Structure 1
Amino acid sequence: MTQTVDQSAFRGALGRFASGVTVATTVLDGVDHAMTASAFTAVSLDPPLVLLCSHKTSRFHDAVLDSKIWGISILAEEGMAASAWFAHKGRPLESQFEGIAHHRAESGVVLMDQSLAWLECTTETVVDAGDHTVLIGAVTGAGVRDDLDDPLLYYRSHYGTIVRRPDSEKTVYEGGA
């Protein structure tokens, strides 16, 4: 039985899931491609696998399918302007990294300097999923910055960051089951 879902309610429900913000990058034939992505998550620790969703109409989509390599920059709060820039459709490919601090990974993909961590990935599995493609990547490289600790978050179309609480998950739970 096919059920119709109210699109406004669906989008509203998804918007209420707070997520981290990443910039996904790839390079194809010497041309860098990038997109802001919140549809990213860990899949497996052993072997190390992550998942990224890419909209089928984006320039990034076809490039990452062809290149089969990609980077993920998990943005710090200071990466908000970069996140907004790489979410903007139609930006020029050839100059899109001008004025944005970045470096090139061993695989050749660009990684953002305003990040808490970076991952380099090789596409292992591609899954067709409606208007998106799900990429599952084998992690081939990873790095973290210990001098930054404020993640960039996204919730209901707004950027934010965390508020640290003394009763966080790092606090040992002493209650009963």
Structure 2
Amino acid sequence: MSTEPPCPEARALAAAPDTRLFRQVVGRFATGVAVVTTVADGVDHAMTVNAFTSVSLDPLLVMFCADRTARFHDTVLATGIWAVCVLPEELRAASEHLATPGRRLAGQLDRYRVHRGPATGVPVLSDALAVVECRTHAVHEAGDHSIVVGEVLALDVPNPEGEPLIFHDGRYRRIAGP
């Protein structure tokens, strides 16, 4: 039995995976949940993400992915400064609210404890597990999303005892204890 990959012609003839199956497959990867925030012209903006990760230790870089059709996308690119707030379980409602397309922009963070990040002045969720304040370092187009890479300006751990909010298989989950 050969383990060689099929020839280019055979790969070209294979049917492309469908979007539904793709979402199901990548949804099997458990992720944390975060909210990315920025401020533009005195108005706070926020968006829930689960595509967030560290990129580099030298220099310190992180990245998140933003849907190019989301109003947050153009705003965060225009401001060039943002914060990632890693959410604890108790901020699940914030995650759901800030993931809702078309929600009212004015006052969207009013129901949560928020303060201004010391390095960027953007809104930061005070009950976040961790906070990373950034300046945009690079932006890469990737299909219907942009990969936004940020240079880390400041770090904080405001809620070191909190349990992380987890998303897996299309649902919020809890980490099972020992």
> Same fold, TM exceeding 0.5?
yes
Q: 1:76 touches 1:148 (CA, 8 Å); kept in 2?
A: no
Matches of 1:99 and 1:153 in 2, distance apart?
22
Q: 1:46 Cα deviation (Å)?
A: 2.2
Partner residue, 1:175: none
Partner residue, 1:173: none
Matches of 1:9 and 1:90 in 2, distance apart?
27
Partner residue, 1:113: 126
Question: Percent identity between the aligned chains?
Answer: 44
Amino acid at match of 2:134: C
Alignment of 1:5-84 (within 5 A): 5-84=17-96
Matches of 1:34 and 1:99 in 2, distance apart?
13
Deviates more, 1:54-63 or 1:105-114: 105-114
The structure-2 alpha-carbon separation of the partners of 1:152 and 1:92, relative to structure 1 and needing over 3 Å to count, comes to same
Partner residue, 2:108: 96
Match of 2:172 among 147, 159, 162: 159
Backbone CA RMSD of aligned residues: 1.3
Q: Which runs of 5+ in 2 are unaligned?
A: 1-10
**1:95-124 deviation line (CA, Å, top 9, x unaligned):** 101111111112111111221100100000
Q: Which runs of 5+ in 1 are unaligned?
A: 166-177
Matches of 1:20 and 1:61 in 2, distance apart?
20
Amino acid at match of 2:80: K
Q: 1:33 touches 1:59 (CA, 8 Å); kept in 2?
A: no
TM (norm. structure 2) is 0.88
- Report the 3-state secondary structure (helix = DSSP H, G, I; strand = E; otherwise coil) of the residue aligned with 1:115: coil
**1:51-103 deviation line (CA, Å, top 9, x unaligned):** 11000011110001100101000001111010001001111111101111111
Q: 1:160 Cα deviation (Å)?
A: 1.4
Aligned length: 165
Q: 1:146 Cα deviation (Å)?
A: 5.1
Amino acid at match of 2:126: D
Larger Cα Rg: Structure 1 or Structure 2? Answer: 2
- Report the 3-state secondary structure (helix = DSSP H, G, I; strand = E; otherwise coil) of the residue aligned with 2:103: coil
Matches of 1:122 and 1:85 in 2, distance apart?
25
- Structure 1 residue 145 corresponds to structure 2 residue 134: no
Amino acid at match of 1:40: F
Matches of 1:53 and 1:121 in 2, distance apart?
14
Partner residue, 1:131: 144
TM (norm. structure 1) is 0.88
Partner residue, 1:170: none
Amino acid at match of 2:128: S
The structure-2 alpha-carbon separation of the partners of 1:100 and 1:149, relative to structure 1 and needing over 3 Å to count, comes to closer
